[in-house]
Structure 1
Amino acid sequence: MSDQAILRITREIKQIQQGPDLSLAVDYDETDIRNVHALILGPPETPYQFGFFEFSIKFGKDYPTNPPNVRALTTNKGRCRFNPNIYASGKVCLSILGTWRGERGEQWSSAQGLESILISIQSLLSNNPYENEPGYDKANSEEDKVLMESYVEKIRHETLRLAVIEPLELSLGILPGAKGTVAEHSSANDGDEDDDLLLNDDDKQICRFMDIRKRRFLWYYSSYMQSVDTAEPVSWRKRKFQTMPFENQGNSMDGHFDYLELKERLTLLKDKIIGEVHSWTAEGDKAKKQELGIAVNLQRQFEQIAEDLKRQKNFAVDLSLIDDNPFLWKLTYFGRPMSHLDGGIFKFRIHISPRFPDEQPRVFVETPLPHVRISQLGVLCYLPRRTEDMRSHIEGIVTALEEESPPYDPRTTVNPEATKLFWGGPEDRKRYYRALRRAVEKSAEEAFA
């Protein structure tokens, strides 16, 4: 491969990594940048909603003359077909990749690149994935409509099980039958379970994006539980998935519904992930006593940011360390005058991992606030411009709180109840602001009590 092609791949990777699209993430092998790993977040309001779908992308020596080879990794070890165009074997059928016949003009050109490939794959994860199957335009009978609904139902279930729950369980060491865990690790899988205990090459690649999975899980936990609560009454337990006409042995989505188990596993994951975050405090205290570089670095960053806030006379933010631990920051936010948070006093805890910035901070609100950016678990959804710089994290936190007219984006508005009010009718919006105002008044009362 030419140096020019390597430079192009490098540029395309950085463009996604530094871009604003929350639904895409990429990484690459340190030994060979031609081996790229990608994560695509399932689009909101589809059966793939907030699932984490991973792909392996290998660029050949002839790139960009020809497209790279793309393989899906979220396949339950080759046993689950997530889409008519995404096979259990990992094959991704797209005209842009040369793996599917397409209309004139849909084929690959050297003007396309990594981002266009990922966006094309993401477009397959639609609200009605059945339409990706050839001949869909002729499927208009009542029987066809029932099949489409059945297909969506089982994709929604398996997205939670395979694209959300199981990879996190793998990372956290939650194994089948282990004490304190759910006994049936893969209830809807009718295959051999023994190999689920082994960490194969695909599992290792999946672990590559684990911090993103954990952080987003805390953002989207309420949405996952809402999906379970909606689907459970109409998808009775142990009912087998319906086989689609285009599915065949070895290339299908087989199994059965068990939303009760999924709810238990989601709850357990939530507790485990939050527990892991709290364990960072003790790890950080130990790192400080050992005078490790990360502890010294965070202490220095804290002192510089706190000093700059005082010098700039920034009265909206006050920073302190809890128990003099540079891995646990306390942020007090004073609502800006003339804003909807005017007069409020809100306290946040910023938990920082000893593996920062590879593991990103988690921000928990201690003062109840019904805000579209604060999940029902009390986790703030914010976006730092520079993930390795704590100053950027502080700025991101304040920006998220003060955003008066956020764009509608279910990926960042992580409180379903508050979101429903904010983007409802005029009366709903008034109810949202009344709830916000009550929280502001209560926060001030508690602060001065």
Structure 2
Amino acid sequence: MSDQSIIRIGKEVMALQEDSDLSLAVACRDSDLRNVRAMIIGPPDTPYEFGFFEFALKFSRDYPRKSPNVTCTTTNSGTCRFNPNIYSNGKVCLSILGTWRGERGEEWSAAQGLESILLSIQSLMSGNPYENEPGFEDANGPNDKKNQKDYVQKIRHETLRVSIILRLEQFLGTRSDPLELLRHNQCNPTEDIDMDGSDEQPAPYEPFKDLCKRRFLWYYDTYLATARKGKEEVTDGQPFARMPFEGGNNSMDGRFCYGELIKRLVDIKATLDAETAGWAAEGAAAKAKEATVAVNLARQFEQSVEAFKRDGMPHNIELENGNPFAWVVTYFGKPMTNLDGGLFRFRLMLSPRFPQEQPRARFETPIFHQRISADGTPCYGVKFRKRDDVRSHIEAIIEALEEENPPYDPRTMVHPEAHKLYWGSQEDRKLYNRKLRRLVQQSME
């Protein structure tokens, strides 16, 4: 049973990693498959929008006969109850986990697995989580309507502050208030990595650190818009309203401070941009030392140039000052599309810690596109097994740029204005096309 459960867990983790779902991520150490970390990115159009919510799953030897133990670790040191079903102590109340009484057929079965658990938790993150509390499903009295609005507002605020801002400040080491950061660190326990007997302080196991940084760059404009809207709706310093089902240590208390959150979002963006820019200098030093990663990237560059020629792709790739950590791509617009005739240049910056830190791309030529943020950051995905192949990243960016009939996916909303027009009315789509064509024409001048 033990060996079979390990095989089952490994297969489920691998399947989720290979999946292109933009809202779920899982990771575990090869030596400890029974302890899985999961990240759920909050669903669009909810107060959890694009927040980073982490969970720890512990699988027993009886899995899949028995469900794993699941704990939410995004609780701000046990002080933040993000949902009626996600307690401040990390408990997740779900019938399939056996932590809540459910209807017949809703309990755990061996046919369920890691993905079904994460999707069930994600479904709790709705547009009106107030209704998740038993007895409040159909509450529609005057007080309930006000409570629903107040509840959404404070969850939206704490999603920004705790799950996004504090997390990124922790990763970047920029938080000026050590007490707040200490509380955040305490609520996000990490497993120490074996340092082979070294006396140095063990590094924490942070499998989603790079993912959160890259997704922050995707969704930065949305975060900023959310904070600015919140600042218009509530007064800074105004206390959170306590809900009827909250009490004791199982609540979400605090005060609104959207003005401060806006400043912190801007600071995080600037720090991330500076970090990315610093990779070139780090890379040049790695090249001078003939580091393995530098040699590998130089070889990949040569192979990519040859592959583009062989496949007849018109795009040009070059290294900036011969630095294999700074690739510059000139993209030629695809004929018979809105990009026809365009000449767009984007930069692909690579970290000396590649592929643990994934490439960061930025279009230098202005472009109005629903998959490219206002500052030029493209939203694209690469298969897990191809993450260490730089050419796959370039091809994925081009594929996202040229996709003619994409399925509607609000998780790709990295340019709110372009996204709204692209998926709006027929007139909206015409305006989108005009804006895109205008910049295509400018790119040729």
When normalised by structure 2's length, the TM-score is: 0.94
Deviation readout 1:133-187 (Å, 9 max, x if unpaired): 000134221111101111000000000000100011011111325xxxxxxx7xx
Q: Is the 8 A contact 2:369 2:415 kept in 1?
A: yes
Q: Is the 8 A contact 1:384 1:395 kept in 2?
A: no
CA shift at 1:201, angstroms?
A: 6.2
- Residue 309 of structure 1 aligns to a residue whose secondary structure is helix
Q: Is the 8 A contact 1:9 1:34 kept in 2?
A: yes
Q: Is the 8 A contact 1:167 1:207 kept in 2?
A: no
Kindly indicate whether residue 329 of structure 2 is the aligned counterpart of residue 336 of structure 1: no
What does residue range 395-434 of structure 1 map to in structure 2 within 5 Å? 395-434=395-434
Distance 1:324 1:404 in 2: 35
Amino acid at match of 1:357: P
Q: Is the 8 A contact 2:368 2:418 kept in 1?
A: yes
CA shift at 1:393, angstroms?
A: 0.8
Which residue number in structure 1 is paired with residue 286 of structure 2?
A: 287
Which residue number in structure 2 is paired with residue 2 of structure 1?
A: 2
Q: Indicate which of 315, 318, 331 corresponds to 2:316.
A: 318
Which residue number in structure 2 is paired with residue 360 of structure 1?
A: 358
Distance 1:266 1:198 in 2: 19
Which residue number in structure 1 is paired with residue 132 of structure 2?
A: 132
What does residue range 426-445 of structure 1 map to in structure 2 within 5 Å? 426-445=426-445
Deviation readout 1:338-359 (Å, 9 max, x if unpaired): 1110000000000011111111
Which residue number in structure 1 is paired with residue 348 of structure 2?
A: 350
Distance 2:181 2:297 in 1: 43
CA shift at 1:203, angstroms?
A: 5.3
Distance 2:408 2:277 in 1: 32
Distance 2:183 2:100 in 1: 32
Which residue number in structure 1 is paired with residue 171 of structure 2?
A: 171
Which residue number in structure 2 is paired with residue 215 of structure 1?
A: 214
Which residue number in structure 2 is paired with residue 85 of structure 1?
A: 85
CA shift at 1:413, angstroms?
A: 3.2
Which residue number in structure 1 is paired with residue 369 of structure 2?
A: 371
**Mean Cα displacement is larger for which, 396-405 or 295-304?**
396-405
- Residue 165 of structure 2 aligns to a residue whose secondary structure is helix
Which residue number in structure 2 is paired with residue 275 of structure 1?
A: 274
Query: How many residues of Structure 1 are paired with residues of Structure 2 in the alignment?
Result: 431
**Mean Cα displacement is larger for which, 12-21 or 402-411?**
402-411
**Mean Cα displacement is larger for which, 225-234 or 260-269?**
225-234
When normalised by structure 1's length, the TM-score is: 0.93
Which residue number in structure 1 is paired with residue 24 of structure 2?
A: 24
CA shift at 1:31, angstroms?
A: 2.5
Which residue number in structure 2 is paired with residue 196 of structure 1?
A: 183
- Residue 374 of structure 1 aligns to a residue whose secondary structure is coil
Q: Closer, same or farther in 2 for the Cα pair 1:193/1:230, shift >3 Å?
A: closer
**Mean Cα displacement is larger for which, 383-392 or 60-69?**
383-392
- Listed as ranges, the gaps of 5+ residues in structure 1 are 178-184, 186-191
CA shift at 1:193, angstroms?
A: 4.5
- Residue 329 of structure 2 aligns to a residue whose secondary structure is strand
Distance 2:74 2:185 in 1: 16
Distance 1:290 1:356 in 2: 16
Which residue number in structure 1 is paired with residue 198 of structure 2?
A: none
- Residue 39 of structure 1 aligns to a residue whose secondary structure is strand
CA shift at 1:81, angstroms?
A: 0.4
Which residue number in structure 2 is paired with residue 182 of structure 1?
A: none
What does residue range 113-152 of structure 1 map to in structure 2 within 5 Å? 113-152=113-152
Q: Is the 8 A contact 2:77 2:185 kept in 1?
A: no
Which residue number in structure 2 is paired with residue 189 of structure 1?
A: none
CA shift at 1:300, angstroms?
A: 0.3
Kindly indicate whether residue 49 of structure 2 is the aligned counterpart of residue 61 of structure 1: no
Deviation readout 1:222-245 (Å, 9 max, x if unpaired): 000111121111111100000001
CA shift at 1:303, angstroms?
A: 0.2
Q: Closer, same or farther in 2 for the Cα pair 1:159/1:399, shift >3 Å?
A: same
Deviation readout 1:338-391 (Å, 9 max, x if unpaired): 111000000000001111111110110010001111101211111123211112
Distance 1:251 1:271 in 2: 35
Distance 2:160 2:240 in 1: 15
Distance 1:422 1:416 in 2: 10
- Residue 48 of structure 2 aligns to a residue whose secondary structure is coil
- Residue 155 of structure 2 aligns to a residue whose secondary structure is helix
**Mean Cα displacement is larger for which, 86-95 or 199-208?**
199-208
Q: Is the 8 A contact 1:130 1:151 kept in 2?
A: yes
**Mean Cα displacement is larger for which, 431-440 or 192-201?**
192-201
- Residue 208 of structure 1 aligns to a residue whose secondary structure is coil
Which residue number in structure 2 is paired with residue 181 of structure 1?
A: none
- Residue 55 of structure 1 aligns to a residue whose secondary structure is strand
- Residue 36 of structure 1 aligns to a residue whose secondary structure is strand
- Listed as ranges, the gaps of 5+ residues in structure 2 are 192-203
**Mean Cα displacement is larger for which, 168-177 or 69-78?**
168-177
Q: Closer, same or farther in 2 for the Cα pair 1:371/1:165, shift >3 Å?
A: same
Percent identity, aligned pairs only?
55
CA shift at 1:336, angstroms?
A: 1.4
Distance 1:196 1:175 in 2: 12
